[in-house]
Amino acid sequence: MDLNITELPEDIPVLKGMLSGAADKIRRVEKENNLLREQVLLLRAQLFGRKSEKLTSPEGAEQQFLFDESAENDSEQKSSPKTKEIQAHTRVYSGRKPLPADLPRIEVTHDISPEEKICACGCEKTRIGEEVCEKLDIIPARMQVIRNIRPQYACKACEGVESDGPTVAIAPVPKQIIPKGIATPGLLAYIFTSKFVDALPYYRQETIFERLGIDLNRTLMSTWTIVISERITPLLDLLHAEILSGPLIQADETTVQVMNEPGRADTCKSYMWVFRGGPPGKPALIYHYEPSRSGEVARKYLEGYKGCVQTDGYAGYNFLDGLDDVVHAGCWAHARRKFMEAIKGGGKHKSGSADMALSFIQKLYAIEKDIRERELAGEAIVAERRLRAEPILEEFKKWLDERVTRTPPQASN
């Protein structure tokens, strides 16, 4: 609303109404401007700032921000430097680790010539010791062919004579995971490990095999992958049952792009669902592909499970909250990330609430770090968390309950 002083009405109530409307518009514009400023700062930090979310001080008070010039000016204006007493400590210098003792050793002796073994006085020198230096070597991949030979046997006395049974005997064909294929289990394990563990695509493996003089094209390796995936279904079923047998399951999903998928464009998003669980100390891990991110995928996979399921805040996991035999746990890393984004989006107008929340979370992280360093396990971890982490969590929840009544709904999203 643009106001011209010459056009202002003389009626006071009308004038107050116009000014009130202008004030409301200014507040809305300022609110939108602040929101847009935070979005720009957050986007700029994501594009150009460091990816690490690690705080630089125990309480997060000295966290530095990219493009935050006010922090630099404040640091330059400090007149008296702070001093901190450093306790004495022992520094450990880590040298090169010895080579594994179980590796085979090939000894190569580098001796001097017979002439050098004769002393200047004419006597022969005596060996008094040796100096050993170990070097690591590798034998490049070597292809080999396994020839399966099946001898045939026949009875010479029965030649030309009618008989009720076969006259020639031969051993049955060895069972193969790919019938009539040339690949052994060892070759298949090598190809799949290179592909799914070492992230070596089939077209690169094709080049490697060419250097070894073997013609294994990517199409053939892809066909083998499809065949093997069908053959190992019983193994996947066993892994699924193993995951469901444990007290805790961790679930997450991430996007993947599938080329030439029937009925779908190459630009469509597909999802790889990851489930981790099983007995303590022996967790199983399954990558489950689905073209959809629907929560029905997780519902179907976790059907019948009783225990704790840890996920992020994706709404597709909300069905877990309504199950009586399931405890739905969140993820501190994802919760912490939102407070970090609030700080980055605030720029020089730092959020005191976000800093306070991060201080609570950092205390929990410090407890977990101490547990790992002390190498605690089992009930000792549970006891330590109940003793040290539970009071922090109770205080954190009390603080959040107080803040939620004073935080606008838009700011909590």
Q: What is the pLDDT of residues 361-406, one digit of tens each?
A: 999 999 999 999 998 888 899 999 999 999 999 999 999 898 887 7
**What is the mean predicted confidence (pLDDT) over 257-264?**
84
- Claim: this prediction has a pTM higher than 0.75: no
| 10 pLDDT tier (thresholds 50, 70, 90) | low
% pLDDT > 90, the chain = 47
Lowest mean pLDDT among 108-117, 162-171, 305-314, 393-402: 162-171
Residues 47, 342: Cα–Cα separation, whole Å = 16
Residue 78 has pLDDT above 50, yes or no: no
Write the CA distances from 12 to 2, 24, 333, integer angstroms.
18, 18, 57
Q: How far is CA 12 from the centre of its chain?
A: 66
Q: How far is CA 225 from the centre of its chain?
A: 24
Residues 275, 244: Cα–Cα separation, whole Å = 10
Q: What is the pLDDT of residue 299?
A: 94
Q: What is the pLDDT of residue 5?
A: 59
Q: Which of 52-61, 308-317, 397-406 has the highest mean pLDDT?
A: 308-317
Residues 110, 107: Cα–Cα separation, whole Å = 10
3-state secondary structure labels for all residues of 103-163: CCCCCCCCCCCHHHHECCCCCECCCCCCCCCCCCCCCCCCCCCCCCCCCEEECHHHCCCCC
Residues 125, 116: Cα–Cα separation, whole Å = 9
